[in-house]
Structure 1
Amino acid sequence: MNSMKDNDTPSNDFFRLLVEHVNDWIWQINEQWEFTYSNSIVEETLGYSANELLGKSMFSFIKINEVESVQAIVLSAMENNSSLQNLDFTMIHRNGHEVFIETNANPIIDNQNNTIGYRGINRDITLWKKNQDRQQQLLDIIEASPDLIATADSFGNTTYLNPSARAFLGIPEGIEELHSVNAQLWTNKIVDINENELSAEKSIWRGENTLSNSMGKEIPVSQIIVTHKANNQNIHFLSTIARDISERKAYEKIIKRQALYDTLTELPNRRHLYKTISRLMDSKDKEKTFALLFIDIDDFKQINDTLGHKYGDRALKLIAARMKGSVRENDFLCRLGGDEFILLVEGMNTKQEVEDYAKRLISIFNHPLRMDNKLHSITCSIGISIYPDHGKDIETLMQNADKIMYHMKKQGKNGFQITQTNGG
């Protein structure tokens, strides 16, 4: 096998072979900008053979709307005998698609110190350019996003905050000491995350969280936290995206309230009543008992018929407010519908205690309602059933209280009765 001695000078064939086997496009042009040499890699880059390029102007392969600007740069460089460094432009492949090129070239200078051409290297940066463009597009989206987007290193030092995150946290634009902002500022989950909360493949935590904004106000957010791992599975850096869900939470709260509360009187409604009774009946305390008072306003239909439903609604609101102000704080008062109300009373161990409570409730109607400077006398009838004596399920307990209440009405109204028989 032949070997080159230290004092041997490489032959032209050696250099030509070397040039033909590099991955970059090596070329030469004359002062008319015509190709006088090209290695064969150009066929992979532009689809033309090296021979097809010879004698043709380099500008005939450059995207037409870039020709003028590239010509100006090359002409200026020739006049100043200067190199072309990291010059980017677009060339057109034989098949018509665009190829992004980065060129570096040195001038060929004659004896009169004039540039008569260039020798250079073109590198196909199409994939890099597309990746750069894609990254820039993503960055533009991230920068414009209303969501809080941030990254931090493995020590929890913040490395990036988008404008929305800066505004949320009160971090000035352009702050140089960004890494001094601890990531716990934009997620209080960092110290809570454990392996059970993270996807084994992607190391992602997602859920609802609460962050404090620059004014110290706690804001509910929907958040994703990603732990990006290196090959050794150690955390390389963290990223997050968080969306303010204050409006959604407020809307959910309204919807939940509408589902459980009467819109006219703002008392709990029938659905809330059933949930509460179920909770009381499901108590693990087997000795737990409570009274259900079924309250019906006497002759309320006359108010609607004589004064109209507008006054009827006003009367119901006044009645509800009066009763609400008279019951104990831990008792449950609701509007069942129309002029019917239910009161659940816990913690009364004797029948006498329940009767005394009912008398006091009836007494609040001794004073007439005032509407438009007119007084309207109101009374009520109350039927009482006690769990579990008068029913061990909701329907039986309600039916017994309803039944004894109507029995009270037949006896003259404006009073109360307790169920006498076991309806269970």
Structure 2
Amino acid sequence: MNGMNDNDSPSLDFFRMLVEHVSDWIWQINEQWEFTYSNSIVEEILGYSAREILGKSMFSFIQTEDIEALEAIASSASINNKRLQNIDFTMIHRNGHEVFIETNAKPVIDDKNKTIGYRGINRDITLWKKNRERQQQLLDIIEASPDFIATADIFGNTTYLNPSARTFLGIPNAEEDLQPVNAQLWTNKFVELKEHELSNEKSIWKGENILTNSLGKQIPVSQTIVNHKASHKNVHFLSTIARDISERKAYETIIKRQALYDTLTELPNRRYLYKTISKLIERMDETNTFALLFIDIDDFKQINDTLGHKYGDRALKLIASRMKGSVREHDFLCRLGGDEFILLVEGMKTEQELENYAKRLLSIFNHPLRMDNLFHSITCSIGISIYPTHGKDAETLMQNADKIMYHMKKTGKNGYQITHPNKK
């Protein structure tokens, strides 16, 4: 019979059929390590048919570099009637490529209690080994990365931190339980996100974030957070990679400051002025207003002509410093260029308040400037325009304030005047 029924035990043919249909290589060798049996799967693994390997030594198919070590293991096991358990070695396929094998075998023992061969199972672990090697390569890269890399479970417990992340958070490098490390330390941005900010398929967030290091210092980072989902769409785990962008941010701050500030006086410049006026106008209504004071230093050209531009620059820095110390903290003072300054003032309810403010600015020049033990008397002229009475845009406001300021200069200097609609 080729099968079995309820009253019969399994036949030899049944077991042979069973062995031929398994995916592992089943074999038997004799005392000389020669194959005496092999199932047909060997052809898929090594490219040789079962008939071709019969009578041949197992070692003739093994990579040369592995033979000595494997012979020592096999001989020792044979002498002591021991099993061969989870032994890895490399065999050579018929076409020359390497095949990684894991073997498990049981000794065949005669009636004198001597091992006269082995019966075993070889498993092709080539794909598994290559995947493991790739995983190890990726892990080596992650471990060596200067970036902050971490994973967490669905309960918010950190499950992995690479060395850079451990250093950042002040956690020792010892392999300790990381569960007390709450993932919110590095997912603070993620938990604030709205659903529409995430990719529906992969739930990926990319952007800039702020992380706090072990010293309590806030560090700007460029970060990616991935919400890994299982096939049933539930969250499986979280991972992140974050890069310190402190240097870039510092550089951006320098560039921004250079674009918006005057390098000599460190006051906001013309570009910053226009941006500020635009913002003020956007939030103004009929009940709110602001004033623009156009300030020009009287006879400043004489300082440059008599003392040189070096002293002129020093004088401008001293003048800017005096004005910064005199204006209110929330008012906007900038250097328009040369010896011209602009002051934007909010919250003045009457012209009298503005006039008192202008008088205070004039008074800061009551004391001469001191440069190299020499004193230089300085005065200024101020023209004032008010939004929206004297203009509803930056250009008009500045032109009107400029005109009234030059009118002030022609009529005596060292004073102020508010623009009037009929003033030419």
TM-score, length-scaled by structure 2: 0.90
Q: Deviation per CA, 1:301-329: give whole Å up to 9, x if none.
A: 33333333332222111110001111122
Aligned residue type for 1:58: M
Contact 2:2/2:13 (<8 A) preserved: no
Q: 1:153 and 1:382 mapped to 2: Cα distance?
A: 66
Deviation at 1:86, TM superposition (A): 0.7
Contact 1:396/1:423 (<8 A) preserved: no
Deviates more, 1:45-54 or 1:251-260: 251-260
Deviation at 1:423, TM superposition (A): 8.8
Aligned residue type for 1:182: N
Aligned residue type for 2:288: K
Contact 1:220/1:244 (<8 A) preserved: yes
Deviation at 1:404, TM superposition (A): 2.8
Contact 1:390/1:419 (<8 A) preserved: yes
Deviation at 1:214, TM superposition (A): 2.3
The equivalent residue for 1:104 is 104
Q: How many residues align?
A: 424
Contact 2:2/2:11 (<8 A) preserved: no
> What SS does the corresponding residue of 2:409 show, helix, strand or coil?
helix
Aligned residue type for 1:321: S
The equivalent residue for 1:209 is 209
- The residue correspondences of 1:408-419 to structure 2 (distance < 5 A) are 408-419=408-419
Q: Deviation per CA, 1:248-295: give whole Å up to 9, x if none.
A: 333333332222222221111111110111112222422322221211
The equivalent residue for 1:86 is 86
Contact 1:408/1:417 (<8 A) preserved: yes
Extract unaligned runs of 5+ from structure 1: none
Contact 2:2/2:14 (<8 A) preserved: no
Deviation at 1:5, TM superposition (A): 4.8
Aligned residue type for 1:342: I
Q: 1:137 and 1:409 mapped to 2: Cα distance?
A: 77
The equivalent residue for 2:138 is 138
Q: 1:230 to 1:293 in 2, by over 3 A?
A: same
Q: Deviation per CA, 1:81-126: give whole Å up to 9, x if none.
A: 3221111112222222222111111223345544333222111111
The equivalent residue for 1:44 is 44
Contact 2:190/2:205 (<8 A) preserved: no
The equivalent residue for 2:118 is 118
Aligned residue type for 1:287: T
Q: 1:294 and 1:89 mapped to 2: Cα distance?
A: 87
Q: How many percent identity over aligned positions?
A: 80
> What SS does the corresponding residue of 2:192 show, helix, strand or coil?
coil
Contact 1:391/1:422 (<8 A) preserved: no
Q: 1:63 and 1:308 mapped to 2: Cα distance?
A: 87
Extract unaligned runs of 5+ from structure 2: none
Q: 2:291 and 2:195 mapped to 1: Cα distance?
A: 49
Q: Does 1:172 align with 2:198?
A: no
The equivalent residue for 2:266 is 266
> What SS does the corresponding residue of 2:45 show, helix, strand or coil?
helix
Q: 1:99 and 1:3 mapped to 2: Cα distance?
A: 35
Aligned residue type for 2:183: A
Contact 1:292/1:345 (<8 A) preserved: yes
Deviation at 1:50, TM superposition (A): 1.8
TM-score, length-scaled by structure 1: 0.90
Q: 1:396 and 1:362 mapped to 2: Cα distance?
A: 24
Q: CA RMSD in A?
A: 2.6
